[in-house]
Amino acid sequence: MTTSREALRRLAVGTLMPGFVGTTVPAWIEREYAVGLASVCLYAANVVDPDQLARLCSSLRAAGPELLVAVDEEGGDVTRLHYPTGSTQPGNALLGRLDDTALTRASASAIGGELAAYGINLDLAPVVDVNSADENPVIGVRSFGADAPHVARHSAAYVEGVQSVGIAACAKHFPGHGDTVTDSHHALPRVHAEAHVLDARELEPFRAAIEAGVACIMTSHVVVSAIDAERPATFSPTVLGDVLRDRLGFEGVIVSDALDMAGASAETGIPEAAVRALVAGCDLLCIGSETSQDCFLAVVNAIVDAALSGRLPVGRLEDAADRVALMSRRFGVGAGAEVRGSRDVPGWANGALVRGFEVGEAVRPWLDTPGEPVIVQVASDHNLAVGPVAWGPRAAGLATAEDDVPAGAKVAVAGRGLSARHPAWEVTERLRAQGHPTIVVDCGWPRGGADLVTFGGSVVVAEALGRYLGVPTR
């Protein structure tokens, strides 16, 4: 059994996945790889454009040939490869609406191929949460839908697509973040559904992902009271051991959601959160998007001290590091391929995406009304998972400013997350008062009231919307 501080430190860094600040590889990442660092995670702040990302990934591979390099590349609203211009994939909600698992598999495979070309070998996707709460502030269109069997089918297809090209997939956020109205980036959500509901709804997509051979599963910083009323899933041996390992039979890597989120570390700090997560059964710890060297070293020291004191059993630490090392070997990076785009999925340009839109009764009369069609996009808040990525008609060069709407035009007002307080409704009233035939488009998960819902705001979805409405590129 490993007992020396040096050996324990090597095990500790073999369970860690820090982010870092900047667009080049920090010296401390290179030093830590030399003494066992398992993984790094790239975030939007690390990306400027495809050429810079390719250089960054090449540098990472030169510094750490066996690193697990991870990103949140879900497709749709959450993208890192296509920051800040917007994703070339439709995203889960619209794929779920189309309900063609072959198309979902093809979309995921295209994402995986693009990741492989960069030398990225761990995709922190898919989201397999069942979005059962319409007002969910952080899942929404990241989910395949609100029906568990439906979500399960597409979750399995996504896993198969990503892993078919040699990229590890990660189903998230266990045991489910879909029935929440709180964003765990900001606070600690709670799910109060009964055990039989959780089993039939939240757990079903994870079963499907496990059966599809998913390499890893990410925890949620959510208290699920029917399983463990006291601890968030990330810190619950009951959730991770009794349910995920024993009941569902998952043998792969359990990765924590980011430990810098308020739902994980607001009360304890990140080093303590890291120890708690390992004790509970996490194998790979996502530290956060702007991990500094000082924060990283504090986490390492906390883990080593916990192992030396007996609070963290050394066998648990060894098991975690071994699981991560096995996944790293299984999904090792081969010779670099030419970086390619992921647009060329059959069906994107032929109207297939429009079949997933929800089209209300007001749309057909609007389409038949004479006048130049224009889209006015109204600014909409983003959550931290999405970030300030370009979205909607503006990202596709299809938007007109409200003040520039020409006389006689008919207008589609586009926003996302259209709650009753969203400013899109005021814009709509002003345009109607000026005599413009006007419909409302929600580019997110519907909250009610919109005439047309696209179930996603990525560039490829916006382009499909523009073609459907007859709006020329500006």
Q: Which residues are catalytic?
A: 185, 257
Give CA–CA dist 188/108, Å, rounded: 30
Helix (H, G, I), strand (E, B) or coil at 62: helix
DSSP character for 200?
H
| 211: Cα separation from own chain's centroid | 21
The identity of residue 96, as a single letter, is: G
Alpha helix locations (H) across 119-220?
A: 148-163, 195-200, 203-211
Residue 248 phi, psi dihedral angles, 5° rounding: -90, -15
DSSP string, 354-402: GGGSEE-TTHHHHHHS-S-EEEEE------TTT-S---HHHHTT-B--G
Backbone φ and ψ of 39, nearest 5°: -160, 160
SS3 426: helix
Whether 159 and 151 have beta carbons less than 8 Å apart is answered as: no
How is residue 34 written in tokens?
Answer: 């030399």
Q: Is 397 exposed, middle or buried (0-12, 13-18, 19+ CB in 10 A)?
A: middle
Report the b/e string of 260-293 with b at 16+ CB within 10 A.
bbebbbeeebbbbbbbbbbbbbbbbbbbbbebbb
Orientation angle between helical segments 314-330 and 270-280, nearest 10 degrees: 90
**Helix, strand, coil in percent for the chain, rounding step 5:** 40, 15, 45
DSSP 473: P
* DSSP for residue 118: H
Taking alpha carbons only, the member of 230, 229, 291, 234 closest to residue 264 is 234
Peptide bond just before 346 cis, omega within 30 deg: no
305's tokens: 């001290």
Which CA distances in Å does 426 have to 4, 122, 378, 413, 432?
65, 43, 10, 10, 10
CA distance 68 to 394: 35
Give the count of alpha carbons within 13 A of 124, CB side only: 29
